Each structure stands twice: as structure tokens, then as C-alpha cells.
A and B are shown apart, each in its own frame.
Chain A
């Protein structure tokens, strides 16, 4: 592909990278390979504060060196990309490719866009109370449409696979794209010239080169259907296949498996009893009921948390995640902060309630649970403690927390049923409100309070209205807007102006 010779003898390259990704190193490599192969190269950048996690543009221009004696002056090269005038754009991340398109650097007539398809989430996306992420498909679609050529693959994964950094993969992809008139060896020579981590960088380079040359497609993993492994599992699976509509099978299977792991088969039966109530009202309610009920019924009490923390699968997952190699030792410390509240809730109902209701006992006991614990689960003392806690599973049904949660679940289900009797969509929206219940301690209490405010508003003001479903969904969205509950307060005030909810 001969893109550099479109009536002018210069090549312009814009690199969009995030601080710390080695965009500067990549820009340096490009200039080194160009200078060694008969080009004048000029690079510029605006580091400054953008360097710290912000996005930065490195800009390079290449011009063929005049032959000796042609008496040309120094070239006069631009220091920033002009929209419509960029031959090659290299973006280290998907949204940066999107930014390059937005800034007009990518044009259909000349731009080769080389972009990684992985995501590094921005703070606005990360800090949302729910899901604040941008739509990847939208960017990929624009890249395909608006560039002369788009070479996209997950360069972060390629870098990790090669044990290298993303800048070397990007450099390899640039070489493999054929957009610059230099040989593979010339590119590799530039990496060697840099002198740092040459072997690893060349490996990253090679994986980028091959991926760009081949134009690899993103691999899509197909989720395998879960198959029962025990008699109880088979019985429950048969039951749900019989009683629930096809659309809810996958979620209900997942839910049954979750609750068997969480408690036992009887608990999973209770779950199916409840889901079937909704499936009977309307088949469309089965799937949301299956999803949200399973999540709520598997509420995260200390018994559950302990059970998850001591599993062998988790130990190996962590070892893999932190890349522990042969001969290294791994210690794992948990940051746990059970308050008196959580401890009492794990106790049998009567005992737990008595302590929590007695100011005197609370005052005396609370200091023991005022500080966070560093729980080393790779040590015997804490492992045994958590193992003991997990072993309280059979007693969970007698615990205070169990009673409280089952009562909440029943209230929520009853309201959903009442709504669904006349308005299926409203019933589904009420079921979906479970998503507001999240986290532990204060976060959990905030979620429960929000949920109750939404449900109460729905019950008093919305049920029966034609737009009930839409309004409930709007309240749920508002509850996920901010931690202080400002948006939710406004939204509630709007639908219930007379009685302003606090």
C-alpha cells in the first residue's frame, strides 16, 4: 500500500498515547529508523501535565533527505497535525483511536489507522456507581468507516503475551502495516539502537508485526452452557427446564448453581419456587426474576465472604494474576472490616438482635470491631478462622441477617407481583431495582435505603400510571447517579411533589 506518495514528499505520523505507555519511546524509534534510511525526521510533543494519566499526542514528520549537492534548505516541518493531513495515526487504546477520529486526524483518503482495541477506562467511566463505560462497537465502526485502512487488535494483550510493553507492539504493528517504506530489519535495528530491554522489545515488535500483517480478528469466546454434575443439580435443572420459559433457562441455571454453592439444594428450590411465581404471571418476567433473585438470595454475609476467600481455585487465581514464578513465595493479606453489626447479624437471630438492641452491650463490644483487620489467608491462624466461619453455613438459616434479608426479599417480590398483575413492564422494572443493592456496610445501607425509597415511591405514586415502568427505570438510574442521593431526591420530588422524600 503506497500511501506516502500522494503528490508530496513527506509523511506525517500522529501517535496518541496515555502517559506512561512509552509513546515517547515509540516516537523516538520512528525517528531513528527514518533517519537511518534516508529521511529527515522531526518529532514534537506536548508532555506537561497531560503526561500524568492524560492523553498525549506525539507528532512526527518525515521528509526524504535531498541528494548531495541539490542545494536545498532545511525542510520546514509542522509541529502539530493538521486535520486531513495525517498519513498514519497510531493509537494506544480504543478511545484514543476514537479521539483521533474526533480531532479529524483520521481521513478516508490517506490515513492508516493503527489502534489497539483494548480499553483503559477513564475516571468518569470507572467512578460511576453502575456501568459508565463507553460503547466500544461505536468506535470500531467509526474506525472502519473513516480510515483509509484500519489495523486494530488488542495490543495490550499482545504485549503481555510477549512479556513486553505496548510501545514495542505498536512499533511492530507500524512496521507490519507497510505504511512506511522501510524494511522489517530496519525497524528492528531502531529497537536495538535504543539499547534498553532489546530482547523483550523485539518480541513485542514481532507479535505486533505479525498481527498487523495478518490483520487478526478479535477472538470471541463462546460461553459454554453449564451442565449439572450432581443428582440434586440434575433434578433442579430438569425442573427449571420444565417450568420456566426457554429465555430464562441460562440465567436460572446460573442462579440455581449459585445458590447450591451458596447454601444447598433446598435453598435453590426456594429460589425456583419464587421464580416460578413470576413465570406464571408472565413468561417475560422469568428472566429478570431469575437474575435478580439469585443475586439477592446469595447476599454477601461474612459466612459467604469467608467461604469464597479460602477456596483453592481462588488461591491459584491470585497466584496467576500476580504472576508468581517458580521459587517465589506468595502471601495474601485480606483487608476486612467486620463491624459489630455484621458480627451480630451472623449470630442466631435472637442473640444477634439482643446485642444490637442493647445500647450498653453495643457500647462495650463495639471497640473490638472498630478497626480493620489484616487477614493473612495464607497463614494458618486466619485461614482456620475463615474456615471456621465458612463452616457456619448450615446455621445460616437461623442467623439474624438471613431473617432480615428474606423479609426484604419477600416485600420486594410482593410489590413486583402486585405491579405485574396489571403492568408487566412495571413489574420487571421493580425486579431490576435489586441492582441498587450493592456492597457492604455503609455502601450496602445506602443501597438498601435507595431501593426502599424507590420502591416506596413506586408503590405510592407510580403503580397504575401508564408510564410507571419508565418512571421506575428513571428513579433507578437516578439512584446510580451520585453517592449523596441528590439526583434520586430530585427524581422522587418530581414524581411525588407533594410529599418530598428525604
Chain B
């Protein structure tokens, strides 16, 4: 099992009718799925929806009681394809992933699903990773909804609304035979709040029931001539059905006065930020009591023509708040108004930035511009902010993400840096995962990243000149099982690519929160694990494969990498670099060790340190490591002026700095302290004797020093 327990969260999923749920947005949505009688759930972990996957993975007994099937899908395409269960049967199904990347991976399945349409409600929970703190390219999932004609919900950040949208989303999907996407923004996922729970509902039909009594409908299969029928159906039947449902169930909301000559149309997800901007402009309050008409789109696709025209009629101008680009909603609104022959001016990207997150400040500035032009009497007076201090900025360093303390991936890149000293710069095709932090200081390794599991494929074009330099590809175990085995390794074997792939095998899908995967070493009651990666690549036809079982052995890592880069063997070379993810290892062993120590068992703790009096403050060790616990401090030596290296007590004793000091022949300042709790009898006696002799000699040395001292 993954090393984190979600028992507390699972308890929240059991809340009954009338009880108060308190927690994060994504957990509220998780609970809402059970309240809506979902029959099956799948997905692939990733911020910001990992929590949903983690909690379901820990909720096996509850899911069994309810007859709900949960799957940790191999990737988003697998999850998307799983929704096929809702095509023929009245099964409500939901899948979740990080978007836009997950939607990219799933798009083939989603296109097929959207073409044939669904019988049971199909809900795709989209964790839209956009804006501050995002780790992926900045694109909009909105485009996928439009091109495949799936409906897109973007509920305003309020737990009750989000929970309601899950239920309504299933109903909308069933009413229009179309899969529905529920967009959850990062902050909404992590936002805390409360709602009144309902009883969980057992699905009327379980996946087992459906398997028992299969039915088929040729018209639902994506093959000519049905595909032409689907296209017509989408336009003539499903689209109007969806619009009718959204209108009749009032999924969108209206705030503020009914009549005004200006108004605001906002994506539901931005509503709270808009309200704060209005409040600061003196046009609303903490309770959403806006003094301007606001039309809040909880359903952003499709738009409801009647609602739009009614809202805009009689208004001179309407501000549209639509985050990201291109501005699909703004275009659509303009078309609707043009067709309705309404002269309301749509003001969107002309006052709002085309790119970047719409923060309170950004919306506030756009709002001020809008009001200055269209209602100057209500425009806020611009507050005088304190003058900026540019040289203050020069003093505050950036803090790029990096490997955790003791991360087993660090020595891989330390070794690679050492190999580059011998062989020169390498072209490194990076992948998605924690190992991508290699591109940042202090390693500066990696040229491109093409997607999850695509590191090897991203290196496939680099055919070396004769016995020239080979390209290196990185891949994590997560990406390997996601698709790297086929699109990377299989591709390289078939094409006889002369590349070197390093697969980081740390036992978890670590970057997404430490979930188990096929090659995890942990026992898992409900999944199978311990499928070795080397066996898989050999099965694929790789002839040169090595597994290193301790990445911290920097010298061995360096030598193996050098060998892979220089061996006469042609074809793909694969190095599987194994060591457990330190974050998860600490979660696993810390409580174990504490328990063992308190029970009087022998426990060994290691940590590293640096002697300040031999450290000369060059920090070469930091440039080969970047470990958070390996830092600096003011030099205690009054003669020296540069800070010395220092290891703080957060050190977990992984050994990397010592090994790097050895492999790179750095300096003798590193020491490892081994602290033994509850040592054995012999161990104590021997240590006492040794200590006595050493102390005696130290005293003599001390006297000699004192004699020649200042």
C-alpha cells in the first residue's frame, strides 16, 4: 500500500443524511460520487486530484459494501476507455485525472466515447492544473469539450455547489447521452469548506450485473455508417437536450440586481475571486451581495442562448471573465449576440490579460478598466500602493523545486555530472516525474520533456555518428508503466535506437503522491505488485539491461552509465536504478523505528555532518547534490570569509554526500555519525573499552596541543 493512510478521509465518505461534511473540495466531490450512486470509478493520480484516487484506494471495504468498482487505471487512456461501461448500460461511471495532460492522453478514448454517446451518466473529473504552482503546459481543457462535444461544468468554489454539480452532471449526461466534464481548479480542489451530506446510494445496477447480462447496440459502435449518425445526433438531439437540461435545472446562477446597463459574465470557477475584486471596489460584500448583475456560468459549455441574450439585453456592455486562451466563451458570446442582433458590447480580453491566472489583483485591475470606460461614476479610486523596492527583489532568492532530502534520484544525476566531466555534455531527453528537477540548479541536466513516459521516445531521433555520442533518456517507473514500456522501450527495440535509458525505479509513483504501481515493492491487498522492470524490458527485446539496487553508490552508478555510453553493443541500453523514494521510505520506517526503540530493540540511525574547520567553503559538494539538508552557515572561523557547508538535523543519512565526496574526490570534511539506540551488551562493552583508550590518547594529544598553544 502507499505509505500514507487516508483512513480519516474514508470516514468522511461514510457520513449519512443531514450530517455535516467538513473538508477539501476534491474530497467533497469524492463523497458526492457515492451520493450519486456511481457504479464504477477510475482514473490516474496527479495534482490536484490525487486525493480522490488515494482516498478511493483506501476505501475498499466501503466500496465493496456499496457495490462500487474502483480501478487505479494504468493511464488516463485506460481510464477514459473504462467509461465504455456506460455506453450500453445504465451505469454511472466517473474517472479523474490531471488536466490538460491527462485529457491529452485520454483523448482517443474520449472521442470514441463522445461519438457513440452514453446511456449511463459518464463524468470526467478534470483537475485543471493552471496558474500559480502549476507543473504543466498552460492550456485549456475547454478545447477538448468543444471538439468532441462533451459538456463542461466549472462550478463556483462552494462545496455545496460542487457537490450538487456532481449529481447534476450525471443527470445531464444521461439526459443528453453525452459524457460530462467537471472541471476542478487547483485551489478549489484544496479549498476547505462544508456541506450537508446525503446518504450514499448503492448503484441500481452494478458492473457485475452488467457483465452478467450483456446487451449491444450496433449504432453505439464507432464505425461507419454509425459515425455519421453520431455526428448528426450530436447536433440535432444531444446538444438541444443538454441546453434544455441546463436551463430547466438552472445550473447557472445570477447574482446582484436584475436591471443595470452593465453586467459581468464569469466562469463559475472564478466567481469568488470576482466577488473579492468587486468588494474591494466597493461593489459587493463578503456574502456575495454584488451591486452589479453577475451571470455565473457553472456550465461553461454549452452556453445557453436564451440566458445569454436575456442577460445582455438592455446592457451597454458586459465584462467577460474567462481565464486562459484562446477566449472560446468570448467568441461564442459575440456570435450569440450578433445572431440575436443585440448591440451589447462584449468586453473581455481587451481589458483582461490574454495569458496567466486571474488573481484578485488581475481581475480588480480589469474591472477598474471596464468601469472607467462604461460606468465611470462607479469606478473605484485607484489605491496608492507603497512604492516597490527593486533592489529588495535582488536580495530575495528564487526557490525552485528540487529533490527532497535523501532523494535516491539525486545520486543518479551526481553520477551523470561526473560522467559528463569525462565524456563531455550529453543530450538528455527528460521525462515527467520528480527526476525532471534535474533541469534546475544545481544539476542543469535535461534538454526536453515530451510527456509522461516519453523520455525514451524523445531521444529516439538521435542516431549517433558511428561510435559517436549516445543520447540519454530518463524515465520514471511511473512513466514506464504509464506508457513508456511500449512507446519508449518497444519503439527503441524495434527501431534499434542506440540510446541509453535510465529508468528510476523508486517503488512508487512518487511525484503524484506515492501511489503503488506494478513494480512497487510493497505488499498490496487489492493490487499485484513486484513486477520487475528489467524483466519487462528484456521481455520487450532489450539485450543490454542492468539493474542497480542502490543508487547511492555514486561510483557504481557513474561506471555503469559510462559503460552504457561506450559499450560496442548496439541497440537500446537500459539501466534500472533502484532505491526507495525517501519521502515514502521515511513515512514507512519512522514509526517502525520509533516503536522498535521504545520496545528496547536495537535501532541504528545515521546522519552526516561536515567539519567546519576542514571545510574551505567552495561548495563543490552542494553543486553535485543540492540536498535540502546540505546547506551553508556563516563561517565560525574568524579568518575565513565564505560560508561553510553544513548539514542540519533533517539529514536522513542516505549517504549521497559521502559517496559524492569519494567519487568526485572532493574533500575529507564529510563524516557519517551512526547512532545506536539500545545497543547490545557486547557492543556496549567493546565501545566502552575503545572509548576509554581513545579518550586517554585524546587527553595526551590535548596536553601536547595546550603546550604549544598560543
B641–A138 touching, CB < 8 Å = no
Of all chain B residues, the one with the shortest Cβ separation from A316 is B698
Asked if B340 lies at the interface with its beta carbon under 8 angstroms from chain A, I say no
A102–B614 touching, CB < 8 Å = no
B190–A47 touching, CB < 8 Å = yes
Binds B, one of A241-249, A357-365, A438-446, A460-468: A438-446
Asked if B395 lies at the interface with its beta carbon under 8 angstroms from chain A, I say yes
Asked if A1 lies at the interface with its beta carbon under 8 angstroms from chain B, I say no
Minimum C-beta distance from B646 to chain A (A)? 9
Q: In chain B between 605 and 659, which residues have their CB closer than 8 angstroms to a CB of chain A? A: 607, 609, 611, 613-614, 616-620, 622-623, 626, 628, 630-632, 638-643, 649, 658-659
Collect the chain A residues with CB atoms within 8 Å of residue B526's CB. Answer: none
Whether A435 contacts B642 in the complex (CB less than 8 A), given A123-B400, A142-B392, A308-B613, comes out as yes
Binds B, one of A208-216, A331-339, A493-501: A331-339
A310–B701 touching, CB < 8 Å = yes
Whether A121 contacts B632 in the complex (CB less than 8 A), given A308-B613, A380-B694, comes out as yes
Asked if A311 lies at the interface with its beta carbon under 8 angstroms from chain B, I say yes
Asked if A398 lies at the interface with its beta carbon under 8 angstroms from chain B, I say no
Most buried by A among B188, B662, B665, B683: B665
B618–A134 touching, CB < 8 Å = no
Q: In chain A between 406 and 460, which residues have their CB closer than 8 angstroms to a CB of chain B? A: 435, 438-443, 447
B641–A126 touching, CB < 8 Å = no
Contact among B273, B511, B614, B690 for A308, CB-based, below 8 A:
B614
The CA-CA distance from A327 to B597 in the complex, in Å, is 12
B401–A53 touching, CB < 8 Å = yes
The CA-CA distance from A72 to B288 in the complex, in Å, is 10
Contact among B272, B618, B632, B695 for A447, CB-based, below 8 A:
B618
A98–B643 touching, CB < 8 Å = no
Asked if B295 lies at the interface with its beta carbon under 8 angstroms from chain A, I say no
Minimum C-beta distance from A12 to chain B (A)? 9
The CA-CA distance from A101 to B631 in the complex, in Å, is 25
Minimum C-beta distance from A303 to chain B (A)? 12
Minimum C-beta distance from A381 to chain B (A)? 10
Contact among A80, A108, A121, A483 for B631, CB-based, below 8 A:
A121
Asked if A25 lies at the interface with its beta carbon under 8 angstroms from chain B, I say no
A441–B665 touching, CB < 8 Å = yes
Of all chain B residues, the one with the shortest Cβ separation from A236 is B710
Minimum C-beta distance from A463 to chain B (A)? 25
B47–A47 touching, CB < 8 Å = yes
Give A44-60 as 1s and 0s: 1 = Cβ < 8 Å from B's Cβ atoms. Answer: 11111111111110000
Whether A133 contacts B191 in the complex (CB less than 8 A), given A72-B287, A75-B286, comes out as no
Asked if A404 lies at the interface with its beta carbon under 8 angstroms from chain B, I say no
B385–A334 touching, CB < 8 Å = no
Asked if A130 lies at the interface with its beta carbon under 8 angstroms from chain B, I say yes
Asked if B218 lies at the interface with its beta carbon under 8 angstroms from chain A, I say no
The CA-CA distance from A321 to B611 in the complex, in Å, is 11
Collect the chain A residues with CB atoms within 8 Å of residue B659's CB. Answer: 335
B672–A332 touching, CB < 8 Å = yes
The CA-CA distance from A50 to B47 in the complex, in Å, is 11
The CA-CA distance from A370 to B392 in the complex, in Å, is 48
Whether A79 contacts B188 in the complex (CB less than 8 A), given A334-B671, A439-B666, comes out as yes
Q: In chain B between 650 and 682, which residues have their CB closer than 8 angstroms to a CB of chain A? A: 658-659, 661-668, 670-679
Count residues of chain B with CB under 8 A from any CB of chain A: 122
Asked if B397 lies at the interface with its beta carbon under 8 angstroms from chain A, I say yes
Asked if B487 lies at the interface with its beta carbon under 8 angstroms from chain A, I say no
B709–A257 touching, CB < 8 Å = yes
Minimum C-beta distance from A498 to chain B (A)? 30
A122–B397 touching, CB < 8 Å = yes
Whether A76 contacts B158 in the complex (CB less than 8 A), given A127-B441, A300-B616, A312-B695, comes out as yes
Collect the chain B residues with CB atoms within 8 Å of residue A380's CB. Answer: 690, 693-694
Give A70-108 as 1s and 0s: 1 = Cβ < 8 Å from B's Cβ atoms. Answer: 001111111111111100000000010011011010011
B134–A85 touching, CB < 8 Å = no
A135–B400 touching, CB < 8 Å = no
Collect the chain B residues with CB atoms within 8 Å of residue A372's CB. Answer: 555, 661-663, 665
The CA-CA distance from A202 to B157 in the complex, in Å, is 34
A98–B385 touching, CB < 8 Å = no
Of all chain B residues, the one with the shortest Cβ separation from A18 is B399
Of all chain A residues, the one with the shortest Cβ separation from B630 is A126
A127–B619 touching, CB < 8 Å = yes
Contact among B391, B671, B699 for A332, CB-based, below 8 A:
B671
Of all chain A residues, the one with the shortest Cβ separation from B616 is A438
Collect the chain A residues with CB atoms within 8 Å of residue B191's CB. Answer: 42-44, 79
A305–B272 touching, CB < 8 Å = no
Asked if A378 lies at the interface with its beta carbon under 8 angstroms from chain B, I say yes
The CA-CA distance from A444 to B687 in the complex, in Å, is 37
The CA-CA distance from A18 to B401 in the complex, in Å, is 10
B643–A49 touching, CB < 8 Å = no
Collect the chain A residues with CB atoms within 8 Å of residue B666's CB. Answer: 337, 439-443
Whether A50 contacts B401 in the complex (CB less than 8 A), given A126-B632, A251-B638, A443-B620, comes out as yes
B668–A440 touching, CB < 8 Å = yes
Which 4 residue pairs of A and B lie closest in terms of their CB atoms, listed nearest first?
A372-B662, A46-B133, A257-B710, A82-B360
A-binding residues in B (CB < 8 A)? 22, 47-48, 129, 131-135, 157-158, 160, 186-188, 190-193, 271-273, 275-277, 279-280, 286-288, 359-361, 364, 383, 385-386, 389, 391-393, 395-405, 434, 437, 440-442, 511, 555, 607, 609, 611, 613-614, 616-620, 622-623, 626, 628, 630-632, 638-643, 649, 658-659, 661-668, 670-679, 683-684, 687, 690-691, 693-695, 697-699, 701-702, 705-710
**5 further interface pairs, Cβ-Cβ under 8 Å (given A55-B399, A82-B361, A443-B620):** A121-B631, A138-B391, A300-B614, A305-B668, A387-B701
B-binding residues in A (CB < 8 A)? 8-10, 18-20, 31, 35, 41-56, 63, 72-85, 95, 98-99, 101-102, 104, 107-108, 120-131, 133-135, 138-139, 142, 146, 223, 226, 228-230, 232-233, 236-237, 250-251, 253-258, 260-261, 264-265, 291, 294-295, 300, 305, 308-312, 314-315, 318, 321-324, 327-337, 339, 371-372, 377-380, 383, 387, 390, 435, 438-443, 447, 483
12 CB < 8 A contacts A-B: A20-B404, A44-B192, A48-B135, A74-B160, A74-B287, A80-B360, A82-B364, A236-B710, A257-B710, A322-B607, A335-B672, A372-B662
